[in-house]
Amino acid sequence: MKNKTVIITGAASGIGKATAALFAKQGANVVLSDIQEAEGTAVAKEISASGGKASFFKTDVSKPEEMEALVNFAVKTYGKLDIAVNNAGIGGEINPTADMSIEGWQQVISINLNSLFYGMKYQIQAMLKNGSGSIVNISSILGSVGFGGSAGYSAAKHGIIGLTQTAAIEYSAQNIRINAVGPGFIETPLLSALDAETKKMLVALHPIGRLGKSEEVAELILWLSSDKSSFVTGSYYPVDGGYLAR
């Protein structure tokens, strides 16, 4: 990772924050992106204070022009773009399909799916100039199965896998690898609003007997981004404590 430049969206907390810290520790130039400016700036400062290279760029991932600006910032700041981790997302409205609001559906699709297309569109263009690159898209276990009350979220995460596979086929010959990661339920701020009983129910869905940690997902993202996975593209890797094996 030394001197590789990486963009990580949703880097102010959770999986994104853990991934940013890990990449910086490995010597990468990390461009952190999030809509939460204060939190994202604080993470960048933490990384810099510990000897890493990090910059923050505020981005609303649901806006294509802001995703383009993010890529331009990374290239202008560090000279190139080698890796992108499209991680930003929301849980979205929880309701049965027929009761889900139109606004709720549009919001989760915009942030969790459209943003990945916008990101890849401009990330790939920058990587083609280098002659290589790696993109890791963060899907979910709900990218391959359903979950009651999460129609929009599940649809978006399923869509990420199809988008990942398609782009991987299109650009593999140009030395750009594109893969997806499917985390199970991870201890992140997305779950902070849940009560103890709900968390207990979620734990029971994972045969390993606990929820995942952001750092565990970050390790898989690092591997997929590195040359150690040079023959891996168009793949979907769950990291889920056995959730999908049930």
**Measured over all CA atoms, what is the biggest interatomic distance in the chain, rounded to whole angstroms?**
51
DSSP three-state, residue 81: coil
Interstrand relation of 5-9 and 29-34 (parallel, antiparallel or unpaired): parallel
Identify the residue whose tokens are 């094996």: 245
Query: Which of the 8 DSSP states describes residue 212?
Result: B
**SS3 label, residue 235:** coil
Catalytic: which of 153, 171, 237, 243?
153
3-state secondary structure of 213: coil
State yes or no: is 236 an active-site residue: no
DSSP string, 108-175: HHIIIIIHHHHHHHHHHHHHHHHT-EEEEEE--GGGTS--TTBHHHHHHHHHHHHHHHHHHHHHGGGT
Joined tokens for residue 25: 């520790």
Kindly state the tokens that stand for 92.
């979205």
3-state secondary structure of 62: coil
**Which residues have CB under 8 Å from 124's CB, separation 6+?**
133, 135, 167, 171, 176
Nearest in space to 54 (alpha carbons), one of 32, 86, 78: 32
**Active-site residue numbers?**
153
